[in-house]
Amino acid sequence: MRNSKVVSLEEAIRRSGLKDGMTISFHHHFRGGDKVVNMVVDKLAGMGFKDLKLAASSLSDVHSPLIEHIKNGVITGISTSGLRGQLASEISHGLMSEPVVFRSHGGRGSAIANGDLHIDVAFLGASSCDCLGNASGCPRSENAKSICGSLGYALPDAKHADHVVVLTDDLVDYPNVPKSISACDVESVVVVESVGDSSKISSGAIRDSKNPRDILLAQQAAKVIINSGYFVDGFSIQTGTGGASLAAVKYIRESMIEKGIKASFALGGITAHMVKLHEEGLIGRLIDVQSFDKVAAESIASDQLHQEVSAVEYASADNPGSAVHALDIVILSALEVDVDFNVNVLVGSDGVIRGAIGGHPDTAEDSALSIIVCPLLRGRIPCVVPKVTTLITPGAGVDVVVTEYGIAVNPRRPEIAARLKEAGLKVVDIHDLAAKATSVIGVPDPLPFGDKVVGIVMDRHGKVLDKIYNIK
Amino acid sequence: MELKNAVAGTLESGDIMIQIGPGEGLQVELQSSVEAQFGRQIKELIKETLTGLGIDNAYVKATDKGALDCTIRARVTAAAVRSTGVDVWK
């Protein structure tokens, strides 16, 4: 009976007891290379399911086939961290009658753990799985076809969903150890041709910048960190996926070597940059909720000190054990920052959804020092504005904003402003940055929003933070 | 002033491509990545720049990729000079 869990996708769906109106869930560890969402929803549509609620940890350009499934009534609700591409554009223009619910990664973990987001059936892709359901994002045989590293965002689903189906493109001998998802949480195992294209993991938000402005911003951000008072032996750090925040790591590294300072851990989405510092002995441990590239995925497969964590262990607001509570410094990017230090990372300045919340509000709120790095202007689009288009990260959690025209420090943190001034950095009032932007580009006309709510932004504590209206 | 068809600018991000030719009055057709927020201002600026060069009759097709005002003025002027043969920079 050992193989009784291994069934076809159709049989797994039938066994799950899935009914119209129920909630299905997915993780996004394959990012732009994901094949599971489209494959499963196509199958559900073919089997005649309607009115399903899709709870993904995030969605991207590759999920545009969902548009047809929404039009046909197969999918009638979505919750996610982000939306990009054609799907995002259609939803912004009013495709769905039910608004999309946006949560941060920590917020989603909490919502699943406390029952706010109940999952009936989770469909979780894995790069290796045994016949009982012990699954991992790491390859475990010479037949392995994919690798995604950490399965952090899938772990709350695996633990709390009523029914769990693991899809894998490499069924390996029992026992598949070390495992990320336990066989005890898994009802069915489905072997498929491919769960995802690993080469597309580092697409989407992540880019390695050669842009001179990004490099300038990165140097400034590094100087802020070094002079902030938090750059001491044993500090901890997380970086977002923007070009400038990744490049900042390079300059921090130089200073760490020069001053003999080592970090205790790096948190969050782990990149090759962080793996390099870890392997050089500059960062003690890597705490990885999502492996952002192949180097990070390979490292988690082989390095004991590179530890996978679930979204709850990573960034839950109401779990005092989550790692963000121990985080000293985070570098983040932004689409817009306003004069109250509020940040928008989700909705573009044209009113169209084009990003993801990620761990932005989680890390900004709980870290000791949060630094937003963004240019003053992107083309004619201002990044420092009087008021953000959509509120994602409240200004109370944002400490420093680094632009090429100066560094603004939240008035709540006068001690940091004083340290940066003393170090000779150009500290400016954030109102002056907004005024500078306006002086170059003029005052934008208001966006043509309609009166239909297409998105609801939940804060990480489970309350409604903002609403996104349709754009005409 | 007699106008020939002329072009200035590129489709690179941060630039604007101006195609100009004969027309009646100043007609501006604009496609812009920042249309909702800045379309009105960009059209006004194009007309203002042409009027300033003594051009009151022209058809302009502008394809904008988020150019700043200084860039728009420069591209419109260059297109106008190519179109009229009158060098305004002398």
pLDDT in tens, B16-69: 999 999 999 999 999 999 999 999 999 999 999 999 999 999 999 999 999 999
Within the 70-89 window of chain B, which residues sit less than 8 Å (CB to CB) from chain A? Answer: none
User: What is A392-461 written as a DSSP string?
Assistant: SB-GGG--EEEETTEEEE-TT-HHHHHHHHHTT--EE-HHHHHHHHHHHH-PPPPP-EEEEEEEEEE-TT
- Alpha-carbon gap: A447 to the closest alpha carbon of chain B (Å): 6
Mean pLDDT of chain B: 95
- Alpha-carbon gap: A336 to the closest alpha carbon of chain B (Å): 15
Q: pLDDT at position A246, please?
A: 80
Residue B83 has pLDDT above 50, yes or no: yes
Beta bridge partners, A239, equal A331
Q: Which residues of A touch B (CB under 8 A)?
A: 349-351, 378-381, 440-442, 444-445, 447-448
Interface test with A, best of B11, B15, B37, B75 (most A CBs within 10 A): B37
Residues A219/A250, Cβ–Cβ less than 8 Å: no
Interchain proximity A445–B37, CB inside 8 Å: yes
Interchain proximity A442–B40, CB inside 8 Å: no
Q: How are beta strands A75-80 and A406-409 bridged, if at all?
A: unpaired
Residues in chain B closer than 8 A to A380 (CB atoms): 34, 37-38, 66-68
pLDDT in 10s for each residue of chain A, 472 residues:
556 899 999 999 999 999 999 999 999 999 999 999 999 999 999 999 999 999 999 999 999 999 999 999 999 999 999 999 999 999 999 999 999 999 999 999 999 999 999 999 999 999 999 999 999 999 999 999 999 999 999 999 999 999 999 999 999 999 999 999 999 999 999 999 999 999 888 754 455 677 889 899 999 999 999 999 999 999 999 998 777 888 899 899 999 999 999 999 999 999 988 999 999 999 999 999 999 988 999 999 999 999 999 999 999 999 999 999 999 999 999 999 999 999 999 999 889 999 999 999 999 999 999 999 999 999 899 999 999 999 999 999 999 999 999 999 999 999 999 999 999 999 999 999 999 999 999 999 999 999 999 999 999 999 999 999 999 9
Beta bridge partners, A188, equal A165
Q: pLDDT at position B89, please?
A: 76
Query: For A335-389, where are the E strands, in sequence order?
Result: 336-338, 343-344, 355-356, 369-373, 377-378, 381-382, 384-385
Interchain proximity B38–A349, CB inside 8 Å: no
Q: How confident is the model at residue B1 (pLDDT cuts 50, 70, 90)?
A: confident
Beta bridge partners, B32, equal B64
Interchain proximity A350–B34, CB inside 8 Å: yes
- Alpha-carbon gap: A397 to the closest alpha carbon of chain B (Å): 29
Between A and B, how many residue pairs show a Cβ–Cβ distance under 8 A?
Answer: 42
Residues in chain B closer than 8 A to A442 (CB atoms): 38, 41, 69
Residues in chain B closer than 8 A to A469 (CB atoms): none
Residues A106/A315, Cβ–Cβ less than 8 Å: yes
**Number of residues written out for chain A:** 472
- Alpha-carbon gap: A441 to the closest alpha carbon of chain B (Å): 6
Interchain proximity B38–A447, CB inside 8 Å: no
Interchain proximity B34–A442, CB inside 8 Å: no
Residues in chain A closer than 8 A to B73 (CB atoms): none
Q: Give the chain A residue nearest B34 (alpha carbons).
A: A350
Interchain proximity A349–B37, CB inside 8 Å: yes
Q: How far apart are CA A62 and CA A38, in angstroms?
A: 9
Residues in chain B closer than 8 A to A349 (CB atoms): 34, 37
Beta bridge partners, A369, equal A329
Q: How far apart are CA A334 and CA A198, in angstroms?
A: 26
Residues A84/A102, Cβ–Cβ less than 8 Å: no
Interchain proximity A380–B34, CB inside 8 Å: yes
> Checking phi first, is residue A73 left (phi over 0); if not, alpha (psi -120 to 50) or beta?
left
Residues in chain B closer than 8 A to A92 (CB atoms): none
Nearest to A260 by CA among A229, A232, A239: A232
Interchain proximity B37–A378, CB inside 8 Å: no
Q: How far is CA A30 from the centre of its chain?
A: 12
Residues A349/A357, Cβ–Cβ less than 8 Å: no
- Alpha-carbon gap: B56 to the closest alpha carbon of chain A (Å): 25
Q: pLDDT at position A210, please?
A: 78
Interchain proximity A380–B36, CB inside 8 Å: no
Please check whether residue B12 touches A, CB under 8 A.
no
Q: Give the contacts of A232 (CB within 8 A, at least 6 positions apart).
A: A261
Q: Give the chain B residue nearest A444 (alpha carbons).
A: B37
Q: How far apart are CA A55 and CA A153, in angstroms?
A: 12
Residues B15/B9, Cβ–Cβ less than 8 Å: yes
Q: Which residue in this structure is represented by tokens 């997380």?
A: A238
Q: Considering all CA atoms of chain B, what is the largest pairwise distance in Å, rounded to the nearest integer?
A: 37
A166: three-class secondary structure by DSSP: strand
**Of B13, B37, B67, Cβ closest to residue A444:** B37
Please check whether residue B33 touches A, CB under 8 A.
yes
Nearest to B46 by CA among B38, B10, A443: B38
**Of B13, B14, B36, Cβ closest to residue A447:** B36
Residues in chain B closer than 8 A to A350 (CB atoms): 33-34, 36-37
Q: pLDDT at position A245, please?
A: 80
Copy the structure tokens of residue A380.
């004619």
Within the 13-32 window of chain B, which residues sit less than 8 Å (CB to CB) from chain A? Answer: 13-14
Interchain proximity A441–B38, CB inside 8 Å: yes
Interchain proximity A350–B36, CB inside 8 Å: yes
Q: Which residue in this structure is represented by tokens 């690179």?
A: B12
Q: pLDDT at position A205, please?
A: 47
Alpha helices in A311-356 (DSSP H): 311-315
Residue B70 burial (C-beta neighbours within 10 Å; 0-12, 13-18, 19+): exposed
> Which residue type is seen at A272?
A
Q: pLDDT at position B27, please?
A: 96
